[in-house]
Amino acid sequence: MKDEKRLAVREFTHWSKGYDRSILQWLLFSPSHQALIKRIREVAGDRPTRLLDVGCGTGVFAALVRSTLPNVQVWGIDLVGGMLEKGRARWQEHRGRVLPVQGDSENLPFETGVFDLVTCANSFHHYPRQDRAVQEMARVLRPGGRLLLIDGYRDNIWGWFIYDVCVSTVEQCVHHASAGRFRALFSDAGLGSVVQHVHHGPAPFILNEGIAPAGVPRPHFGGLRVATSRPSIDEVGRGD
C-alpha cells in the first residue's frame, strides 16, 4: 500500500474511536449529509434505488439514508477496518439494507454498471489517485446513474484557509480539489451534465454532480480490471 494510504489508515484507525463525537459532525459532516439527502430525494423520489457510499466511515450517512429514504438500499465501502468496526451497531441495526464492505475507492470491488447512485462525502481529499477514484465511481454507475460527490470547498479565501492551510497541516497528504479540477475529473471519467453547488458556512463544501452516459461505450475504462473478475453486489453483500 502506498504511503499516503498508509497514513489514511493510521489516521482513521486512531480517529475512529472518537469520530462520531467529533465537532466536525456538527460543523461539516451533518450539513453535507443533509445536502446529499435532499438531492437524493429530488432525483430518486420513492423509486427503489441502489446506492454506493464511497468512504462511508462509521456509517452515519448510510444510517441517515435508511431512516429517511426507505426505498434506498445502501452499500458502504471504506478503506479502514477500524471505521467500519466502529459503526458495527449501525450496520447491525440496518442489517440487510445497509451492507458494509472494506475496500479502496480506487479499485471498487463491484461489477460495472450496477448502482443508480454513488455518493462520496468528505473523503475524496484522502485519495492519492483522484482520477482513478472518479473513473471507478463512474464505472459502477448504470447508464443514467448519478455521482454525488461532496468535499471541502477551497476556492475562496476562507475555504482555502480552512482546507489548504488548517486541514492540510493537521492531516498530511490531503488534496482538496478545486471546482475546476472536479469538472475536469468528471469529464475525463465520461460523466456528463455536471452541476456544482457551493454551500457556504463555517466549513464550506461543494456538491459535484454528474451523470453516467446512457448506452455509450466508455473506452477509457479499458485499463481497469475486467468486470467479470468482480463479485456481483449480491455476493458482496451476503453474510454481512
Within residues 52-111, the interface with ligand SAM by CB under 6 A covers 55-57, 60-61, 78-80, 83, 104-106
CA separation for the pair 173, 25 (Å, rounded): 22
CB of 66 to ligand SAM, least distance (A): 15
Please say whether the beta carbons of 191 and 211 come within 8 A: yes
Tell me, residue by residue from 20 to 59, as one string, x for binding to ligand SAM by CB under 6 A and - for no binding.
Answer: ---------x-------------------------xxx--
CA gap 178, 156 in Å, rounded: 10
Site mask, ligand SAM, residues 114-153, x = CB under 6 A?
-------xxx--xx--------------------------
**Rounded Cα distance, 117 and 145, in Å:** 6
Q: Nearest Cα to 111, choosing from 239, 235, 240? A: 235
Of 186 and 205, the one with the shorter C-beta distance to ligand SAM is 205
Shortest Cβ 4–ligand SAM spacing (Å): 9
Distance CA 82, CA 9 (A): 9
Identify the CA nearest to 38 among candidates 5, 65, 58: 65
With contact defined as beta carbons under 8 Å apart, do 47 and 113 qualify? no
E-strand ranges in the chain read 49-54, 72-78, 98-102, 115-121, 141-152, 192-199, 205-211
Choices 5-13, 155-163, 190-198, 226-234; region in contact with ligand SAM by CB under 6 A: 5-13
User: Whole-number minimum distance, CB 52 to ligand SAM, in Å?
Assistant: 11
Letters for 188-227 (x = contact with ligand SAM by CB under 6 A, - = none) are ----------------------------------------
- Taking the complex as a whole, the smallest distance from the CB of residue 168 to ligand SAM amounts, in Å, to 14
Instruction: Work out whether 12 is an interface residue with ligand SAM (CB under 6 A).
Output: yes
Cell numbers found for residue 133: 477514484
**Which residues of this protein are in contact with ligand SAM, per CB under 6 A?**
5, 8, 12, 29, 55-57, 60-61, 78-80, 83, 104-106, 121-123, 126-127
